[in-house]
């Protein structure tokens, strides 16, 4: 699965019309950890999500400020356009898929 780019101009609209679980990676091309997570994410997420997105925080600084992102990479989980959680876990299949499942078992939250 490919990580489709999002920007501050289409972020909310795209997520609102995306059905199922979506995972958004906030990162920067200059960040080695961000590039590593981006390469691992499609396999690690498996069938737990229907869509993968990425936001370049250097290009979308308003989103980075809105979500008060200080540490990269950051993973945000949505379902049917509703925010569920920021995931903080290893990006390996068993760990990430369990974190997704656990977060989706709870009600949606307000975005940070």
- CB proximity list for 30: less than 8 A, separation 6 or greater: 58
9-34 per-position pLDDT tens digit? 999 999 999 999 999 999 999 999 99
Please indicate, yes or no, whether the overall pTM of this predicted structure exceeds 0.75: yes
65-97 per-position pLDDT tens digit? 999 988 999 999 999 999 999 999 999 999 999
Q: Please report the pLDDT score of residue 22 as a whole number.
A: 97
Tokens describing residue 16: 């609102």
The DSSP line for 34-62 is HHHHHHHHHHHHGGG-SEEEEEETTT-HH
Tell the CATH topology of 3-104: Glutaredoxin (3.40.30)
């Amino acid at each position: 699965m490919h990580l489709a780019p999002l920007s501050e101009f289409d972020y909310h609209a795209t997520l609102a019309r995306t059905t199922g679980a979506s995972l958004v990676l906030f990162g920067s091309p200059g960040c080695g950890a961000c590039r590593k997570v981006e390469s691992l994410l499609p396999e690690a997420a498996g069938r737990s999500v229907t869509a993968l997105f990425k936001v370049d925080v250097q290009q979308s600084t308003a989103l980075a400020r809105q979500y008060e992102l200080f540490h990269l990479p950051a993973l945000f989980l949505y379902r049917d356009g509703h925010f569920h959680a920021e995931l903080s876990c290893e990006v390996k299949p068993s760990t990430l898929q369990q974190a997704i499942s656990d977060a989706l078992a709870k009600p949606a939250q307000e975005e940070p």
